[in-house]
Structure formats: C-alpha cells, structure tokens
Amino acid sequence: MKKILLTLLLIPALIALKAQDSVLHRIILIGDAGEMDPQQRNVILDAAAKVIPHRTSSFFLGDNIYPRGMGLPGSPEEKETQAILKSQYQPLRKAGSPVFFIPGNHDWDRMGPKGLAKIRQQSDFLAAQQDSLLEMIPKGDARDR
C-alpha cells in the first residue's frame, strides 16, 4: 500500500519535471509593478515560482516605481523607492532568473524635468547591487540617446 501511495504521489512530480524539460526558455514579463502592495507581491512571488533556473529571463516593462520614479539622493522618497525595486527583483533573482528593467513614463518622472536624473539613479542603484544578472535596459551611455 505504501509503495502504491508513493508511486501515486511521484507521478505528478515526474510529469511536471518532464514538462519543465521541454521548455527551452521562459520569459516572464511584468508591467506596472511600481508599488509595494499585496497584489504586486503575489504577482512577483507567482512569477518567481515559475522560474526555471538557467532557462528563464524576467523583464519589468516600465512604470517600475510609482508615482514619479526613483528617489534622487537625499530625497524623502529615496529609501522607499529603493525598497520598491528590491521587492521586485529579489524574489526573481533568488529563484535564479536574470532581471531586466525597462523604464516607463512614471520612471521618467512622468516626463517631468527630473526624468533623466531619475532614470540614471534607477540604473545606478541597480548597478550598485553588483549583480551581472540585474540591469536596466538600455544601459550605459545608451540611456542618454
């Protein structure tokens, strides 16, 4: 009886494992994740659970930080906006996925005068994590073009 029960429990796991083998590469796309709230957290944790290590790439498709992008150094929102980004990338990186951020209009200070500075700050913050599998797109001098 124990062998039958064990076999019945293993069959779904083996089927799921076989299904994972057929995936060449998984791409996870997440947009408008710019707040820390239960709904955003659930979406990101669900996405992290779907990561297949070494075969998944995750992309945040803009509006990564509401309402007006990354806090500039010394601003009241600097720490909060850093925490927002961390809440997005940490579960996916922990699961083994590279993470790429693409800025949206909210990241550009809603097209305000500090937009470019906020994009640079977001890129610099991600680069400061010293994780080659965590980056802003575009990176480097391309962000000025």
Q: What is the pLDDT of residue 143?
A: 47
pLDDT string in tens for the chain (145-residue length): 545 544 555 566 656 655 556 889 999 999 999 888 999 999 999 999 999 999 999 999 999 999 999 999 999 999 999 999 999 999 999 999 999 999 999 999 888 899 999 999 999 999 999 999 999 998 754 445 4
Q: What is the pLDDT of residue 22?
A: 84
Q: What is the pLDDT of residue 135?
A: 95
Query: How far apart are alpha carbons 60 and 33 in whole angstroms?
Result: 8
Q: Which of 80, 104, 85 is nearest to 44 (CA)?
A: 85
Query: How far apart are alpha carbons 142 and 21 in whole angstroms?
Result: 37
Q: Which residues face 57 on adjacent strands?
A: 27
Q: What is the pLDDT of residue 142?
A: 47
Q: What is the pLDDT of residue 5?
A: 46
- Which are the contacts of 102, defined by CB distance < 8 A and separation ≥ 6? 59, 60, 61, 62, 136, 137
CB-based burial of residue 65 (10 Å sphere; 0-12 exposed, 13-18 middle, 19+ buried)?
Answer: buried
Q: What is the pLDDT of residue 36?
A: 87
